[in-house]
Structure 1
């Protein structure tokens, strides 16, 4: 196992008490000292995730540390969200045609809303406090309502951009991860129902953008307790990744660490306490997250 092999697969994770790791197979290289390159900050704090804003410097430090970095088994660590402090979590509603079709047919999804187009609905924001990693637990609320899973490709913005044209949009991506946009069904606005604590799952690690040459051609799937619920390809998105960045930045500046959940395919459905959700996105990996045994 050589350093050159490791560097060619730059998958960065956060684990345990906020340590930084580089993934290779089922091994985590503890490269936490690479965080020393981050600048010291004072109040008022910058509106960004510091690691993502300085990702190039962190990656360079990681490469220097690999030869002597301690190794720990992936199975022995608890994975946190690879982005610690996202300024925004942005959602893309009804962004797969098949999901639009199922939303029209299933009153438990639409709740009387006219299901038209993402171009009519626009995007929505989720509270950053809803974010967890795959090593944590989803804690459901409102047992009187459906709590649904939604598997998505997540895009992490690496540089500030404002009103960026579609042709330049991917230049501002730091990397990609698996996203679960958990959803409390009901008639209220999405920003309220999807901002529940633990209802945004990101990880299991960040794959740097250079490792994903085409984010619009990735297979993704989701199983619940071993049962296949969702399977599709990001090429089925109504608005592709570059288009979503253009769409979002037309209304507000995107900042380092912003997360865009790009939308979910058909097959959304309810989960209950004790369920195990296993999600996979091609080029990123796969991971499981547990739904806590009790409602909050």
Structure 2
């Protein structure tokens, strides 16, 4: 299934994509694409629906973030060896974890705001993992059973805030609009191997990132297991699993986003995003 949320920002309704690519409304079935509705039992209940009987939604409606009420937005740094190299950092021997504020979350085609006094706003296409069933200290062998599905994430980053303002990375990762998620959540059964997905990103038509999840340092199963050792993962929590090479920081010389730029990005089987950047105070 491809689950989604549509409508005005802050008032999104739950929906799903039918076999013809049309949006069907789920608001009389579930209150949101969130929480217990993402559990194995919750997803089975949605699969049992007669999709053709669900109300059709008007075309060209705004899509919100694919998951609602996200409790934790956990990111993994330097999870592609070639990205670590372009960043001038060593490949980690354990996953590098940091948090991204949930207030950064937006829809897949919403405008991205360049922060006040920012000169180094950067892009990162990433595979997003959405937790379905509670995971506490789970083994690698069964970790994927706790995954509801996958989504495209643009882990936008302000490199000066991240690397030059002291402390941890969260300041450079959590600016408003720095967390587009979607267009939809693709359930785990449609993605049999999350370690063989092509992912790409373009800015103004130029392809900067062109990678594959098979080159991850730590697999999705390893990440879910590892993170669940340190914190209980709850339904609807999101893990952003790292980015392949080609970020602006790694260009020679570095290239950063400016107002009016257009990012287009996607992951095989998970859909595409498109965002235009706007200046602070102009959105």
TM range (shorter): 0.7 to 0.9
1:87 is the counterpart of 2:71:
yes
The normalised TM-score by structure 2 is: 0.87
Distance in 1 (CA, whole Å) between partners of 2:48 and 2:38 is: 18
Structure 1 runs, 4 residues or longer, greater than 4 Å off: 51-55
Q: Gapped runs of 5+ residues in structure 1?
A: 1-9, 39-47, 105-114
Aligned residues: 265
Counterpart CA distance in 2 for 1:51 and 1:139 is 32
Of 14, 24, 31, the match for 1:29: 24
Structure 1 pair 261/52, CA: closer, same or farther in 2 (3 Å)? farther
Per the alignment, residue 5 of structure 1 pairs with: none
Which residue is 1:72 aligned to?
A: 57
Check whether the contact 1:156–1:260 (CA below 8 A) recurs between aligned residues.
yes
Report the Cα distance in structure 1 between the residues aligned to 2:238 and 2:139, rounded to whole angstroms: 18
Q: Distance in 2 between matches of 1:96 and 1:151?
A: 12
Alignment of 1:269-284 (within 5 A): 269=248, 270-284=256-270
Q: 1:12 aligns with which of 3, 25, 29?
A: 3
Alpha-carbon deviation of 1:50? 2.5
Question: Which residues in structure 2 correspond to 1:138-149 (within 5 Å)?
Answer: 138-149=112-123
- Return the offset for 1:58: 5.7
Deviation at 1:259, TM superposition (A): 0.5
Identify, as 1 or 2, the structure richer in helix: 1
Correspondence 1:231 to 2:218: no
Work out whether 1:57 is the aligned partner of 2:52: no
Q: Does 1:261 align with 2:245?
A: no
Tell whether 2:229 aligns with 1:250: yes
Q: For residues 273 and 180 of structure 2, what CA distance do their matches in structure 1 show?
A: 11
Partners of 2:274 and 2:118 lie apart in 1 by 25
Judging changes above 3 Å, is the alpha-carbon distance between structure 1 residues 56 and 275 closer, same or farther for their aligned structure 2 residues? Answer: farther
Is contact 1:148-1:183 (8 Å) kept? yes
Cα distance, 1:11–1:273 mapped onto 2, change above 3 Å? same
1:62-113 per-position Cα deviation (integer Å, ceiling 9, x unaligned): 6435222232354x11010111111111111011111011111xxxxxxxxx
Partner of 1:175: 149
Q: Helix, strand or coil for the counterpart of 2:28?
A: helix
The answer to whether the 8 A contact 2:137-2:229 is kept is: yes
In the alignment, does 2:280 pair up with 1:295?
yes
Aligned partners of 2:186, 2:262: CA distance in 1, in Å? 23
Contact 2:2/2:187, CA 8 A, preserved across alignment: yes
Q: TM-score, normalised by structure 1?
A: 0.83
